């Protein structure tokens, strides 16, 4: 018996798990807090000391959207390996119905991963900027306020100020489409 096996058995005993048939853990009459604590211990172990997937990603420096998305896609793909392992075990045990269900679930997970990769590729192809995002609107408003502040600091009278912003509104009426076209031309 390895040290890990002993550690697992000790953790099982602490929270009230009983092992039957030599290999299948069965939860005995556990107090819900023990089950929660056991689950938290398993998550900490799985995530190498982090309490959750997002915590693990942040600890590994994956905080920007691009690295988070890549890491999440990796996580989904690695989960399909877990499903494949379960499918192979079920097939080996002659549980073909279970194996078929697991295979179908694995296919669904792979389809989702493929769609996520395709969406990421499309996002990168278009310059990695979503012109419809609230962040883009915030950036646009920020620079309009800075333009207003600059005009005020220059002492531009209100009539010229109004003329500037009305003209700017006219020439930027279709700014999202034009900006998207600019990004697309960069990728050609």
Q: What does the pLDDT look like over 98-155, one tens digit per residue?
A: 999 999 999 999 998 899 888 877 776 666 677 777 787 888 889 989 999 999 999 9
What mean pLDDT do residues 69-93 have? 90
pTM value > 0.75: no
Give the pLDDT of residue 111. Answer: 93
Give the pLDDT of residue 1. Answer: 52
Name every residue whose Cβ is closer than 8 Å to that of residue 165 and which is 6 or more positions away in sequence: 144, 147, 148
pLDDT higher at 37 or 130: 37
Exposed/middle/buried for 102, CB within 10 Å: 0-12, 13-18, 19+? Answer: buried
Distance CA 180, CA 122 (A): 13
| Percent residues over pLDDT 90 in the chain | 26
Give the pLDDT of residue 94. Answer: 93
pLDDT at 96 over 60: yes
pLDDT higher at 52 or 27: 52
Distance CA 69, CA 75 (A): 10
Lookup result for tokens 């995530």:
47
pLDDT at 7 over 80: no
Question: Taking Cα atoms as reference points, which of 112, 130, 132 lies closest to residue 65?
Answer: 130
Distance CA 121, CA 100 (A): 31
pLDDT at 65 over 80: no
Sign of CA dihedral 46, 52, 33, 29: negative
């Amino acid at each position: 018996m390895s040290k890990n096996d002993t550690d697992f058995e000790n953790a099982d005993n602490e929270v009230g798990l009983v092992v039957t048939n030599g290999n299948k853990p069965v939860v005995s009459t556990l107090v819900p807090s023990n089950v929660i604590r056991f689950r938290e211990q398993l998550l900490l172990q799985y995530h190498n000391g982090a309490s959750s997937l997002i915590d693990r990603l942040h600890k590994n420096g994956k905080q920007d959207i691009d690295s988070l998305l890549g890491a999440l896609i990796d996580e989904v793909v690695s989960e399909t390996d877990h499903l494949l392992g379960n499918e192979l075990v079920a097939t080996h045990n002659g549980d073909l119905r279970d194996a078929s269900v697991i295979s179908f679930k694995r296919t669904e997970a792979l389809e989702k991963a493929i769609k996520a990769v395709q969406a990421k590729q499309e996002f990168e192809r278009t310059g990695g900027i979503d012109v419809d995002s609230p962040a883009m609107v915030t950036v646009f408003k920020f620079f309009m306020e800075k333009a207003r502040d600059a005009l005020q600091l220059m002492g531009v009278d209100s009539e010229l100020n109004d003329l500037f912003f009305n003209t700017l509104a006219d020439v930027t009426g279709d700014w999202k489409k034009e900006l998207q076209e600019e990004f697309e031309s960069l990728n050609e």
